[in-house]
Amino acid sequence: MRTVKASAVTDAVAELCIRANRELPPDVRAALERARAAEPWPTAQRGLDILLDNLALAAEKQLPICQDTGMACVFLELGQDVHIDGDLNAAVQAGIRAGYARGYLRCSVVADPLRRVNTGDNTPGVLSVRLVPGDVCRLTVLPKGFGSENMSRLQMLTPADGAEGVRRFVLDTVRAAGPNPCPPIVVGIGVGGTFDGVAALAKRALLRPLDAANPDPYYAEMERTLLEEINALGIGPQGFGGRTTALGLAIETAPTHVAGLPVAVNISCHATRRASAAL
């Protein structure tokens, strides 16, 4: 049994909130640079250049890449041989509070969805814990902006809809989102599981590095063709037209019921921000 202090979780979450908001993960930056090199349309080239300039300026000025510093989605991979000494959820929320204050990040969370009073410290964030064998304790912070979150969709398809139904739903969702989610986007797709589970799968798909394909060749091929089809829609950076509509796409799946085919599409923007640390 290994002990991790709750205060170490707080410190790590605070640091990850700041880092995630100021610099893109290397895979997302590389995807932007690759997209710029491959983009044939002049308007789109200019749009991508501005996004790359923005990354440099944010780093230089220690500013967040985007003013929507998001709702902090915190993922914890926790070995069952690890004991957290203290209140885990409180430690995570304290980390968010500290990180958003220290990093001059925007507080975008309201305490109640209908009465809408800002909590003033960007808490609560959303904590997802996955228990795994061993003694790993790995934290990832994904600050999720809502321009793209709002364009996400979920549908309970029927088994007969099959792969073609999933494909159509994904393309319809991206087409309907158009310029709103700040393209070029990253597309997280969940297929299978339950109503609530499929949304979690789609969110988790956004954690996968953009250069990593699904380990199952069937889904790896589906990811490749769907990404190609999305980049043939013509939406382009900012929605002003061009080849680069999506930088990456990942599908996560789970076993499901004989009667169902849940599918969820969680859209993320070009500032798909995540930062991880092991404790």
Q: Which residues bind another protein (CB under 8 A)?
A: 41, 43-44, 47, 50-51, 53-54, 57-58, 61-69, 104-108, 116, 118, 120, 145, 147, 150, 178-180, 182, 233-236, 238-243, 269-271
Tell me the closest approach of the beta carbon of residue 174 to another protein, in angstroms: 12
In the complex, what is the shortest distance from the CB of residue 64 to another protein, in angstroms, rounded to a whole number?
Answer: 4
Q: Which is nearer to another protein, 65 or 207 (CB)?
A: 65
Nearest distance from residue 14's CB to another protein, in Å? 16
The nearer residue to another protein, 53 or 85, going by C-beta atoms, is 53
Residue 81 corresponds to which tokens in the numbers above? Answer: 């041989």
Nearer to another protein, 106 or 138 (CB): 106
Closer Cβ to another protein, 52 or 131, answer by number: 52
Q: Least Å distance between CB 38 and another protein?
A: 14
Q: Which is nearer to another protein, 181 or 190 (CB)?
A: 181
Find the shortest distance in angstroms from Cβ 116 to another protein: 7
**Residue bearing tokens 């070009």:** 270
Query: Which C-beta is closer to another protein: that of 244 or that of 253?
Result: 244
Least Å distance between CB 214 and another protein? 27
CA angle 84, 199, 74 (to 5 degrees): 30
